[in-house]
Amino acid sequence: MKKDLLTFCGINDRMREKLEPSFTIHEMKDIDNLDAFLDQYGEKIEAVATTGHDGCPQAVLDRLPNLKIMSSYGVGYDAIDTDAAIARDVIVTHTPNVLNNDVANTAIMLMLAVSRNLIVDDKWVREGNWVNKGAAPLTQSIEGKKVGILGMGRIGETIAEKLQVFNCEVSYHSRSKKEVAHTYYDSLLDMAKDVEYLIAILPGGANTDKIVNKQVIEALGPQGTFINVARGSVVDEPELVSALKDGRLGAAGLDVFVDEPNVPTELFDLDNVILLPHVGSATVQTREAMGDLTVENIVRYFAEGKVTAPVWECADHPAAQK
């Protein structure tokens, strides 16, 4: 008998192929009348596939009494209420590790693009300035720079490793000191005062809300660059915008925003900012691997009673045991 799966995230062909033999897939995007759907299928749904942005609204969760697993496509899961899931014995899984390289590459791409004026220089060529005005202004090298990483999880470590190629001096701030060779700061503010680049790669959510505040932004200062590949929520966005506008912060490379896909329009006119539409993990290869792991967590749960990548909050769930 096929199990019923409700998806809040997009399902690609590869995911569908792997799921279809064992699951009847109900896609949220195809559901016109949610209430009627939940009346008909709520009790049958045993699995939810979602993202860390979409989660599963409590009102829906309450109508899924037989839900067993919530599999999230992505590493961050700030929109998923893990306490509510645990209270219901629902295991929550995500897709760590498979996106480490591409998210780290995005952080470094932003560092390079901002410091070397990639977008401005591209315009310089296209708008004829090279011909009419001559060489473009000199830019900044990232070689040997002091880089502070905010969050030293799996992606933070990958960024630090990759920065070795540029001979950067890497330090980090996280809630606790890690078993890594980089300099640890127990104060984010102190680190921001000492570094030239600050890269945010820590989970979103209440614990990290606006952790990059006005003081931190000003400590980074007019010569500093802020790179965000974490969540928009980790920075005080209005302060960031105003500091970038009036030069209290030198530059920024931003892949994430508070109210995606809405980006503060004041940023559109600034040459010292590079904006990306939350594409840190968005390569064909990494998205394929994320889809595979999203599916693997669900399929293994029903086949073996185990999952591959539980979130740490669910470590005590029997399906999380090795």
Site for ligand 8YV, rule CB under 6 A: 51-53, 73-76, 99, 278, 280-281
Torsional class of 321: left (φ above 0), alpha (ψ -120 to 50), beta (otherwise): beta
Whichever of 52 and 151 has its CB closer to ligand 8YV, that residue is 52
Comparing CB distances to ligand 8YV, the nearer of 42 and 74 is 74
Nearer CB in complex with ligand 8YV: 250/291: 291
- Going by their DSSP bridges, the two strands 69-73 and 91-93 should be labelled as parallel
Nearer to ligand 8YV, 99 or 202 (CB): 99
As measured in angstroms, the least distance from the Cβ of 101 to ligand 8YV is 12
Neighbours of 159 (CB within 10 A): 28
Nearest distance, CB of residue 96 and ligand 8YV, angstroms: 9
The residue annotated as part of the active site, out of 17, 143, 260, 266, is 260
- Known catalytic residue at 260: yes
| Cβ-based nearer residue to ligand 8YV, 3 or 278 | 278
We find the least distance from the C-beta atom of residue 192 to ligand 8YV, in angstroms, to be 23
Dist CA 298 CA 231 (whole Å)? 26
Q: How far apart are CB 111 and ligand 8YV at their closest, in Å? A: 18
Taking the mean position of all CA atoms in its chain, how far away is CA 146? Answer: 23
* Active-site choice (53, 173, 231, 317): 231
Between 277 and 305, CB nearer to ligand 8YV? 277
Residue 158 Cβ vs ligand 8YV, minimum distance, rounded to whole Å = 14
Exactly one of 53, 173, 278, 317 is catalytic; name it: 278
Active site residue 278: yes
**Least separation, in Å, of the C-beta of 234 and ligand 8YV?**
12
Q: Give catalytic status of residue 127 as yes or no.
A: no
User: In 3D, which of 183, 248, 181, 256 has the Cα closest to residue 221?
Assistant: 248
Catalytic center residues? 231, 260, 278
